[in-house]
Amino acid sequence: MNVLSFISIKIMLLSLFSRFSVGIDSFTSSESLSDGRTLVSRDGTFELGFFRPGSSMNCYLGIWYKKIPVRTVVWVANRRNPINDSYGMLFFNRKGNLMLFSRSNGVVWSTNSTEIARKPIVQLLDSGNLVIRDESDDGNSERTLSWQSFDYPTDTILPGMKLGWDLRTGLDRRLTAWKSSDDPSPGDFTAGVELNNYPDVVARKGAKKYIRTGPWNGVGYSGTPLLKPSPGFQFEFVWNNDEVYFRFYLGNQTAIMRYVLNQTIYQGQGYFWIEGSRSWMLSTYPPTDVCDNFGLCGPYGICYSAEVLPCQCLKGFKPKASKYWDSINWSQGCVRNKPLDCQKGDVFIKFGRLKLPDTEHSWVDKSIGLKECRAKCLQNCSCMAYTNTDIRGQGSGCAIWFGDLIDIKQFQDGGQELYIRMSTSEAEPKGEVKMKLAVIPPVMFLVVGVLLVCYYFHRSRARMQGGNENHGVNNRSNAGQKEDIELELFDLAMLAKATNGFTLDNKLGEGGFGPVYKGTMEDGQQIAVKRLSIRSKQGSDEFKNEVALIAKLQHRNLVKLLGCCIQGEEKMLVYEFMPNKSLNFFIFDRARHELLDWPKRFHIINGVARGLVYLHQDSRLRIIHRDLKTSNILLDSEMNPKISDFGLAKTFGGDQTAGSTNRVVGTYGYMAPEYAINGQFSVKSDVFSFGILVLEILSGKKNKGFYNPSQDLNLIGHAWALWKKEKPLELIDSFLQDSCSVSEVMRCIHIALLCVQQHPDDRPSMSSVVLMLGSETALVEPKEPSFLMDNKSLETDSSSSNIKLSNNDVSISILDGR
């Protein structure tokens, strides 16, 4: 009799004589578990049984939450070998190992424990851990554990589960994401503790490092300072000769939390289940910002997410390849300004609030302190940095790094100190420091005095020129206090002369609040003058808004405001002149569109994205533009894009990111659906407009004017239809098809469709967009976008709203009747 026949006979006998019934938490070697029956933990939290994920017809043995209506699987036994027929059974073999049997495939999974259990019993614990114990003959309640599912996690960590190594046996407990929601087989996204001399928790995509927490420093991970223990959430990191692992606990025993590795979006996500709710609440996930992506800034680069361009060189370093650095490719990193000279002696300079570098080439001695650590590092010419391994108290332990330092992040608060080896010429001599301290006070007094004299002289001159006119612009700040925005004040006669009397020959175009003229000052400087139309009823407020905003904004992808003029009924803004006019001047013109080849268009897309990141998160106030469109993207002499026209912008302070209005203003064809319909605007409204902008840059067609008669679709709908047909390249301007980078174009189409998704929460942030544009990271699939801006949209009831539309690319107002 062969083995398979023996197993089949045993299964028949178990099926006939098993006392198994639904609702118990364990079974013994004389019983089995078949499809349709389950084990349930004593408190009813977890359930073990057979399931079919999503739309898959394959069957798996797994553990899920019993009380949660949304089936959430936390562990899968046979994820590599599904049961593809309708029959599966779990039972013990003669050695006390669990075996999962399929009628068509035979044994598809087993525990393979080396410890033989004479009287095995399998039990599903209240923690979600499936364990095998050896039940003693004398009935003693103490049982020897021979196997547990917690030692073999799939994609989920539960409270009390260890993530890491048992050094005695070589067991590596690590997470591996499901391939998809329908397929629990191992994907290529994994996470676990890496056994460098200085252990680190690392997530990998295939063999490539993707995210890193930074090493443990006695309090937390240096790269995740926001992860802190609380009464409801405790965690520990154990690192000794026997084990290296991380695990967490919940203070509230009735709370439900899990941490899952997600293949589709390449993130680790923490979830809480709130009693009475019908869904999981996302509590935490890395990457939290662009700087969490491994090695983004290259060797000796430091990443600071609060900056528009997050990658900088450490002090004392410079970009290794400036041409790549300027094009936001930071992978080559930085090199020293001054070379080291180990023989003559180097120094160590302290850098604070850092995520410590990658620990692959590190060395640790927990028994010595910082002073001895410095001495060891100084003696070894290959040692590039050192710090404490434990920052509690006065600090203890020693970690040193060899070779290039990579994956460093700067924090505003938290992080850790790192001492980096530098040339002695980079350190200031003590005498110079004392001299500087002595010189600073008198110099400061002198500078302040000069500034005060200049200020009062300027105010007096302004009053003399303007009589009783108020040349300042009053604007309310977040604190509700008035502040006077000081700009250069231009005389009306001077601007009239510069623009040749505001003649048509000097007219550059016209926006929603008035015409724009080209001017030339007496010194030859070229300017652009935006003249507020006297007939505009709402223009004065928008004018003051634009002055107040742009006076505070400084970024290479925002147009620069040089000054203003307010005399009588005349109100004007004076900008730097953009010789190449606006983006729509090129891409929608049959002849001029060929002047924008693909590299220029991709450069423009990147520049606009960086400008929006500055507005949304890096300027002093959070700013929502609300009127992003091709005519508001100006181009300088080198075709660098600059966002202009801030008359409709809204500002927020603190953590506020959204608002609502009864007066919807913007441009037909670019407005997000939640804004056009309900007056709700946020940073995601600008993201939607950016998505439209990218589609127009790619296609050379206007969203508002595009119409596909065969499908009754606007540009968004047309792009989505091509995406679903897997023919997205048919969208692009025919002029680009032979010269473009297919991978870049495909990525831009993908990003644009992510930006125009129906729901604001589904759209990425602009900082994420910048990262996606500059990397090859896999992107999530876009959901169906909003088709709001088609020919049949914005149908309104005249009793409830008043909509003003224009055939021109100018702003519109939608006055809500609420």
Catalytically active residues are 627
> Are the beta carbons of 622 and 616 closer than 8 angstroms?
yes
Reading across the β-sheet that carries 408-410, which strands appear in turn? Answer: 311-313, 301-303, 408-410, 347-355, 416-422, 383-387, 398-402, 362-365
Query: Phi and psi dihedrals of 792, rounded to 5?
Result: -105, 10
Please give the helix or strand (H or E) that residue 376 lies within, else none: helix 370-379
Cα 306 off chain centre by = 12
Does residue 186 have a cis peptide bond before it, meaning omega lies within 30 degrees of 0?
no
Both tokens of residue 672? 């997000």
Cis omega before residue 287 (within 30°)?
A: yes
Residues 6+ apart with CB under 8 A from 675: 626, 664, 666, 681, 685
Amino acid letter for position 418: L
Which among 66, 82, 85, 48 is positioned nearest to 183, based on CA atoms? Answer: 82
Q: Is 568 helix (H, G, I), strand (E, B) or coil?
A: coil
Strand duo 60-65 + 46-51: pairing: antiparallel
| Percent helix / strand / coil, the chain, rounded to 5 | 25, 30, 45
Distance from C-alpha of 623 to C-alpha of 614, rounded to nearest angstrom: 9
**Do 406 and 234 contact (CB within 8 A), yes or no?**
no
What phi, psi does 194 have (nearest 5°)?
Answer: -100, 130
Distance CA 575, CA 572 (A): 10
Comparing CA positions, the residue from 432, 430, 438, 431 lying closest to residue 347 is 430
Within a 13 Å sphere around the CA of 630, how many CA atoms are in the beta-carbon half?
25
Q: Which residues are CB-neighbours of 800 under 8 A, at least 6 positions away?
A: 816, 817, 818
Residue with tokens 């098809």: 737
The beta-strand segments (E) located in 153-182 are: 156-157, 163-166, 171-173, 175-180
Q: How far is the C-alpha of 659 from the C-alpha of 254, rounded, in Å?
A: 36
DSSP letter assigned to residue 786 = P
Q: State how beta strands 561-567 and 526-531 pair.
A: unpaired
Distance of alpha carbon 625 from its chain centroid, rounded? 21
Rg over alpha carbons for the chain, rounded to the nearest Å, is: 33
The angle at the Cα of 677, spanning 673 to 678, to the nearest 5 degrees, equals 110
Could you tell me the two tokens for 644? 């202009």
DSSP 14-65: HHHH----TT-SEEETT-EEETT--EE-TTSSEEEEEE--TT---BEEEEEE
Report the relative pairing of strands 156-157 and 256-262 from DSSP bridges.
antiparallel
Give dist(CA 813, CA 513) in Å, integer. Answer: 12
Gap between the Cα atoms of 457 and 372, Å rounded? 60
Q: Which two tokens stand for residue 383?
A: 């040692």
